[in-house]
Amino acid sequence: MKGAVISEADLLTNLPNNIIENILGCLPLRDVVRTSILSREWRYKWLSCPEIVFDFWFDQMFLGDHKLEPLIYQILKLQKGPLLKFALQVPDLKSSPDIDQWVRMLPNNTLQDLTLHVSRGETHKLNSNLFAFQNLRNLKLYNCVFDPVPGFKGFSKLVNLELQSVALVPETFGKFIASCPAIERLRLIHCTNFDFLEITGPRLKCFEFHGVFKSVSFKNCPVLSDVKLTFSSMDFKRGNRFSLDLVKS
């Protein structure tokens, strides 16, 4: 029709769904939600976004006088998937049963990237549902208790693991790392103190540790090329010694 005007929203609407999802996945959640006002066709498209990140900007834009818990619950309930990434890192997040409920709502057959940042209150005891995400490639945990359930056989696809202020079980953590053969990057920042830590990683390239340990052994780590160790100042003041071993397979 002569003189017809096609809006930018209409142009975007006519794009293939996979391209639209990729575009939404590149935007902060606050901007993803804003796309719902572009047109009637766009009202619910944001619910199929493959990435959901609750961060500082989400907190600033949406919360105000609203409570965080019901808002996150509603977004996850309406989400249509497939969900590839979920990050919970809003300021002042306290340990609560709601966190476990949100994790249970995540699709364990598609999720590849998970971040849980508990910034206030007591260390959060993770629910066993965490260990059902067998497609995880990236896992970041802050201020949590990490204790794999009995019989857990590892994350076979996990590439990047970052734990900060996480309570670990020294006797079983080495076995857990060995059960994740695809790990390339491992960061342990101010976690549980270790007397002895054994790291097994045939694909491990980078290892970073901040904290206290007496001995660490790298077993079957043929491509390990970057090791960063930062010790507690109190440990040096006490005159404690440590050992570092590289064991060839």
Specify the 3-state DSSP secondary structure of 66. coil
Q: What global pTM score does this model have?
A: 0.80
Which residues, including other chains, have CB under 8 Å from residue 77's CB and lie 6 or more apart? Answer: 105
* 215 closest CA partner among 197, 237, 234: 197
Tell me the C-alpha distance between 181 and 159, whole Å: 9
pLDDT band at 245 (very low <50, low <70, confident <90, very high): low
pLDDT band at 26 (very low <50, low <70, confident <90, very high): low
Annotate 78-100 with b (16+ C-beta within 10 A) or e (fewer).
ebeeebbbbbbbbeebebeeebb
What is the predicted pLDDT for the residue at 1? 43
Query: Hey, what are 108's tokens?
Result: 């364990």
Tell me which amino acid residue 35 is. Answer: T
Judged by average pLDDT, the poorest of 47-51, 181-185, 215-219 is 47-51
Tell me the C-alpha distance between 193 and 232, whole Å: 10
Mean pLDDT of all residues belonging to the chain = 80
Delimit the domains of the chain by residue range. Answer: 1-49, 53-146, 158-249
What is the predicted pLDDT for the residue at 72? 84
pLDDT band at 75 (very low <50, low <70, confident <90, very high): confident
Tell me the C-alpha distance between 110 and 155, whole Å: 14
Q: To the nearest whole percent, how much of the chain has pLDDT over 90?
A: 41
pLDDT tops 80 at residue 67: no
Query: What average pLDDT does range 26-37 have in this prediction?
Result: 59
pLDDT tops 90 at residue 155: yes
Tell me the C-alpha distance between 160 and 169, whole Å: 20
Pairing of strands 206-211, 226-231: parallel
